[in-house]
């Protein structure tokens, strides 16, 4: 079965950090760019970043809204991708999805993991 499984998340205090994981299976993980997309409650989807494949030098690209606070990495030996987001704010409260990139879109999504930033 082709799928993405996510872990991490939960309640975090403002100023804290989060680290989320995403594991792919059923497809050649190393051959696909991977992304993180989030959705605040009642809001639209927001792309926050990408890690490209090793053949693309593992380049990362980040949204301006999180630039400077975000780091995305991958470990193809484990078919895993990671999101680190620091200096968390209340506005970072959202469901975080990992997604597999397909050219200019996203053809496979994880189930999501909720992150709540609260005092």
Partner 1 sequence: SFELTQPPSLSVSPGQTTNITCSADSLGNKFVYWYQQRPGQSPLLVIYKDDKRPSGIPERFSGSNSGNTATLTITGTQATDEADFYCQAWDSSTLYVFGGGTRVTVL
Residues that bind partner 1 (CB under 8 A): 35, 37, 44-47, 61, 63, 97, 102-112
**CA 59, 29, 23, 2 torsion-angle sign:** positive
Nearer to partner 1, 7 or 17 (CB): 7
Nearer to partner 1, 15 or 111 (CB): 111
* Cα separation, 74 vs 21, whole angstroms: 9
Contact status, residue 8 vs residue 18, Cβ threshold 8 Å:
yes
Shortest CB 119 distance to partner 1, Å = 27
- Cβ at position 63, least distance to partner 1 in Å: 7
Q: What's the closest the beta carbon of residue 9 comes to partner 1, in angstroms? A: 14
Give the residue with the Cβ less far from partner 1, 29 or 62: 62
Q: How many other C-beta atoms lie within 10 A of the C-beta of residue 85?
A: 25
């Amino acid at each position: 079965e082709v799928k993405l499984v996510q872990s991490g998340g939960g309640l975090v205090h403002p100023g804290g950090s989060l680290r989320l994981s995403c594991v792919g299976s059923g497809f050649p993980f190393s051959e696909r760019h991977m992304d993180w997309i989030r959705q605040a409650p009642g809001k639209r989807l927001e792309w926050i970043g990408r890690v490209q494949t090793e053949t693309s030098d593992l380049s990362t690209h980040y949204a301006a809204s999180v630039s400077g606070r975000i780091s995305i990495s991958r470990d193809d030996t484990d078919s895993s991708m990671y999101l680190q987001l620091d200096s968390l704010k209340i506005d970072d409260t959202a469901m975080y999805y990992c997604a597999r990139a397909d050219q200019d879109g996203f053809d496979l999504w994880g189930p999501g993991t909720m992150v709540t930033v609260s005092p």
